[in-house]
Amino acid sequence: MLDFHSHLLPGIDDGSRNIEMSVGMLNMWKEQGVSIVCATPHFYADSMSPSRFLDRRERSYFSLIEALKNSTYPRIYKGAEVHYFRGMSSSEDIGRLCLQSTKLLLVEMPFHEWSDYMIREISELRSMGFIPVAAHIERYMSGQPGKKIDALLDTGIMIQCNAEFFLSLRTRRKALSMLADRKIDFLGSDAHNLSSRMPNLGDAYKIIRKKLGDDSLLHIRKNEKMLTDAWQLTRSTEEAL
Ligand SMILES: [Fe+2]
């Protein structure tokens, strides 16, 4: 299992507060059988430059890796949850915020109504070769007019949903139906801590496997391969140097 969306790294956003909490979260993922966790701290362009963000992310990542030495934990891929900002399609740094060394860019859309300009910028990113992935799309479905959701999907954006979408009895039927129709491309926990927003991807997988069977996850696995292949390629390149 791969968790596409989490706030695992310590002390960088409103997720894990410190190394102990991050280690606790990694233990929960490990117990659930999750082998890869994408660390996607919030990036807000109006509060920090990409360079400063990436510098802070590196320091947070290495402090955690140092603490994990000699232990077995899920592998961590680095990325960001980029809050939509005006001009993101013309930002020279946008590629540096993609996940691992792929073109996958996790985008958090605003919770107010999306303008046509926003949709055009997402479309522009797609035509530039990036693969925007809309974070937790289920959280927008009741707040946006249907035509805005359709317009966003028409840009070719990929879709990430949170485990909670499957765990809540209120939304489970909709979540399973979207997954069966291959309308979900990635799954994540969006975990922030050990209690109120804890790693819970394993529980969602149990429900999916029970209700739809393992084959329903083939589409997700195919997409996740973009990340595992990129990681493998980076590793082979590093080893060759
Ligand atoms: Fe998030």
> How far, in Å, is the centroid of ligand 1 from the Cα of 241?
35
Q: What is the pLDDT of residue 146?
A: 86
> How far, in Å, is the centroid of ligand 1 from the Cα of 15?
9
> How far, in Å, is the centroid of ligand 1 from the Cα of 140?
14
Whole-number Cα distances in Å, 12 to 55, 95, 101, 189, 217: 11, 20, 21, 18, 32
pLDDT digits (tens, 9 = 90+) for 198-207: 999 999 999 9
Contact call for residues 50 and 96 (beta carbons, < 8 A): yes
- Which residues have CB less than 5 Å away from ligand 1 (the ion)? 81, 190
* CA neighbor of 221 nearest in space, from 172, 185, 191: 185
Rg (CA), the chain: 17
Q: Give the residue-averaged pLDDT of 93-119.
A: 95
The residue type at 147:
K
Indicate which CATH number applies to the domain containing 141: 3.20.20.140
Residue 75, token pair as written in the block: 């592998």
The pTM assigned to this predicted structure is 0.96
Structural domain boundaries, residue 28? 2-240
Residue 112, token pair as written in the block: 């107010």
Residue 50, token pair as written in the block: 């990409």
Whole-number Cα distances in Å, 120 to 11, 94, 136, 185: 34, 16, 20, 21
Q: Give the residue-averaged pLDDT of 83-89.
A: 97
pLDDT digits (tens, 9 = 90+) for 166-190: 999 999 999 999 999 999 999 999 9
The answer on pLDDT for 72 being more than 80 is yes
Q: What is the pLDDT of residue 111?
A: 92
> How far, in Å, is the centroid of ligand 1 from the Cα of 7?
6
| CA pair distance 157, 183, nearest whole angstrom | 11
| CA pair distance 154, 148, nearest whole angstrom | 10
| CA pair distance 62, 33, nearest whole angstrom | 23
| CA pair distance 79, 188, nearest whole angstrom | 13
Total domains, the chain: 1
> How far, in Å, is the centroid of ligand 1 from the Cα of 237?
30
What does the angle CA 83 – CA 178 – CA 215 come to, to the nearest 5 degrees? 115
The residue type at 16:
S
